[in-house]
Amino acid sequence: MTYVGAGIGLVPDEDVDLSERLIQNEEEDRKVLTDALTGLGNLRRLKLKTESLIEERAADPAPFSIGVFNIDRFKPLNDLFGRKAGDEILAQVALRISAALPDDATLVRISGDKFGMLLPTCFFEKDAEKVGLLLKEVFAAPFDLGERTVRMSACFGFCQHPFAGSSFDALFDRCESALYLAKKAGAGLVQVYTFEMEEEMRKRTRVEQALRKAIAAEEVIPYFQPIVSLNQGSVVGFECLARWTDPELGPVSPGVFIPLAEQAGFIDSLTKLLLRRAIECAQSWPKEIFLSFNLSSVQLIDPTTGLMILSMLNRMDFDPRRIEIEITETATMSDPVTAERVINDLRAAGIRLSLDDFGTGQSSLGRLRDFSFDKVKIDRAFVSALDEDKQSEHIVRAILNMCEALELSVIAEGIETPEQAEKLISLGCLAGQGFHYGRPADAENTLGYFRDAQAALSRVAL
């Protein structure tokens, strides 16, 4: 054996090698547990820290909290300003949140724009909520990107050990559930997991599993509501509406299962099923009757959406000029660049575009300026108030005048009484839909409408 050094305290070569290996192993472990962009820990570090704290408090399980948060609308910003700007935002978030958290807290970057926190001395739901509200304020200050500044917000989800779970995986799932509900309710919100949420999440999981099976079995079906010429009272088109009745759950509202399909990531499968079946029905309609179909906000941030629709129309030999695609203002706001690309692809093929729920968003006039639409659908909130609210009448009149100046067609939604129909006609509205003219019906009954109309014409001819 050889030695290094001189005199007392000689160190064997193999001990030096062992020390170097230990140092190297520590550095490798640190890299494995560290996020390269922000210098924070990663999900693995959060898991190890949480499991260590659970073990430490096993004898006396004092509560603690973990949390997760997402930056709102991060992807559109990243697409608009570039990856470098996005990375700068993430780095600034790491610095801000680290500085705002208690000294004993651990902040990690999980992936993308998602971060996680371990809060050993955050004992109760109200404490976690206070932390969330504090961090929400931290986001309020503008983020500096050199030549420009941007304002951001985030949604937060928290839960407590041991009430929400006894393992890291269970706790993390509960945090994700709380974050999901916060994001569902809007931007910049804080949600702490409660036992009441458990039952809601169980119901959601049950509906989601049933919906997946229903789509595979083609049990979600299209219904059709007539769109009419108000002056003539004749049908000019039908809007496709999704309907689903589960053998165990019973009828499930599209207001429940469509957002669920968006959030769970299978809205494309649902859309393809509905569009295909709607086109199959519309092929039997008179050629002058158009089919109106709704696109979700998720599909407007997918640049392949236009190609998917056009490929289906081509495959089924259906004239694109008989299709109208309805999109909401909110859908265009999530990723304007991609939304514009999808809209332009569709319009180039002859498909008409309608802006749905007009008047209820934050910047409807801006949407009309930024995007090319053919029609505007006046939201039912204004139509339903025409009978007793003079202000709604003024709003409807203003929308009609503006659309006339912009050479846009208008459809009024939610017409339920003859009085509302007469008022809209007097204001110059040419088209509308609602229970006054017909409730949504399945494919067979919709075809029956045309058979009845043809029979009536035959009797007149005789």
Let me know: does 354 contact 333? Beta carbons within 8 Å: no
- For residue 30, what are its two tokens? 């640190």
Which ranges of 406-442 would DSSP assign to H, the alpha helix? Answer: 418-427
Determine how β-strand 114-119 pairs with β-strand 64-71: antiparallel
Let me know: does 332 contact 371? Beta carbons within 8 Å: yes
Omega into 76 within 30° of 0, i.e. cis? no
Q: Mean of the pLDDT values across residues 95-122?
A: 95
Q: Are residues 286 and 138 in the same domain?
A: no
Q: Are residues 320 and 241 in the same domain?
A: yes
Asked whether residue 214 is assigned to any structural domain, the reply reads: no
Least confident of 14-28, 360-374, 445-459: 14-28
DSSP state of 387: T
Domain count, the chain: 2
Asked whether residue 454 is assigned to any structural domain, the reply reads: yes
Question: Between these two residues, 191 and 328, which has the higher pLDDT value?
Answer: 191
CA distance 457 to 335: 49
Nearest Cα to Cα of residue 354 among 380, 327, 336: 327
Nearest Cα to Cα of residue 65 among 202, 191, 238, 188: 191
Q: Are residues 232 and 185 in the same domain?
A: no
Query: How do residues 229-271 score in pLDDT, each as one tens digit?
Result: 999 989 999 999 999 999 999 999 999 999 899 888 899 999 9
One-letter amino acid identity for 19? S
- The number of residues making up the chain comes to 462
pLDDT at 14 over 90: no
Confidence of residue 389 (pLDDT cuts 50, 70, 90): confident
Q: Give 353's contacts (C-beta < 8 A, 6+ positions apart).
A: 324, 325, 327, 343, 346, 347, 371, 372, 373, 374, 375
The SS3 of residue 147 is: coil
What pLDDT shows up at residue 170?
92
Phi and psi angles of residue 237, each rounded to the nearest 5 degrees, phi first: -170, 175
CATH number for the domain spanning 447: value is: 3.20.20.450
Report the 10 Å Cβ neighbour count for 177: 21
pLDDT at 19 over 70: no
What pLDDT shows up at residue 99?
95
pLDDT at 158 over 50: yes
Q: Are residues 169 and 239 in the same domain?
A: no
Q: Are residues 240 and 182 in the same domain?
A: no
What pLDDT shows up at residue 423?
94
Q: Are residues 273 and 387 in the same domain?
A: yes
Asked whether residue 210 is assigned to any structural domain, the reply reads: no
Q: Are residues 225 and 321 in the same domain?
A: yes
Let me know: does 86 contact 78? Beta carbons within 8 Å: yes
Determine how β-strand 250-252 pairs with β-strand 409-412: unpaired
Report the 10 Å Cβ neighbour count for 170: 14
Nearest Cα to Cα of residue 381 among 327, 434, 339, 340: 434
Asked whether residue 350 is assigned to any structural domain, the reply reads: yes
pLDDT at 13 over 80: no
pLDDT at 21 over 60: no
Overall pTM > 0.75: no
Max mean pLDDT range (6-10, 27-31, 342-346): 342-346
Asked whether residue 26 is assigned to any structural domain, the reply reads: no
Report the 10 Å Cβ neighbour count for 404: 12
Which ranges of 318-412 would DSSP assign to H, the alpha helix? Answer: 329-334, 336-348, 364-370, 380-384, 390-405
Query: How do residues 202-239 score in pLDDT, each as one tens digit?
Result: 888 899 999 999 999 999 999 999 999 999 989 999 99
What pLDDT shows up at residue 392?
86
The residue behind tokens 């099976």 is 213
Let me know: does 433 contact 227? Beta carbons within 8 Å: yes
User: What average pLDDT is seen over the chain?
Assistant: 87
Q: Mean of the pLDDT values across residues 379-384?
A: 89
User: Helix, strand, coil shares of the chain as percentages rounded to 5?
Assistant: 50, 20, 30
Q: Mean of the pLDDT values across residues 7-28?
A: 55
Reported in sequence order, the residue ranges of 261-374 that DSSP labels E, i.e. its strands, are 290-294, 323-328, 352-358
Q: Are residues 287 and 323 in the same domain?
A: yes
- For residue 427, what are its two tokens? 């204001």
Query: How do residues 312-348 score in pLDDT, each as one tens digit?
Result: 999 999 999 999 999 987 777 667 888 888 999 999 9
- For residue 186, what are its two tokens? 């809007």
One-letter amino acid identity for 32? V
Q: Are residues 98 and 48 in the same domain?
A: yes
Bridge partners of 353, per DSSP, are: 325
Q: Are residues 131 and 224 in the same domain?
A: no
Q: Are residues 292 and 404 in the same domain?
A: yes
Q: Are residues 247 and 389 in the same domain?
A: yes
By residue range, what is the domain housing residue 360? Answer: 220-461
Bridge partners of 69, per DSSP, are: 115, 156
What pLDDT shows up at residue 329?
74
What pLDDT shows up at residue 16?
52
Asked whether residue 19 is assigned to any structural domain, the reply reads: no
Phi and psi angles of residue 316, each rounded to the nearest 5 degrees, phi first: -95, 5
CATH number for the domain spanning 158: value is: 3.30.70.270
Asked whether residue 375 is assigned to any structural domain, the reply reads: yes
Least confident of 7-11, 399-403, 404-408, 441-445: 7-11
Asked whether residue 179 is assigned to any structural domain, the reply reads: yes
CA distance 417 to 415: 6
Question: Between these two residues, 462 and 254, which has the higher pLDDT value?
Answer: 254
pLDDT at 30 over 80: no
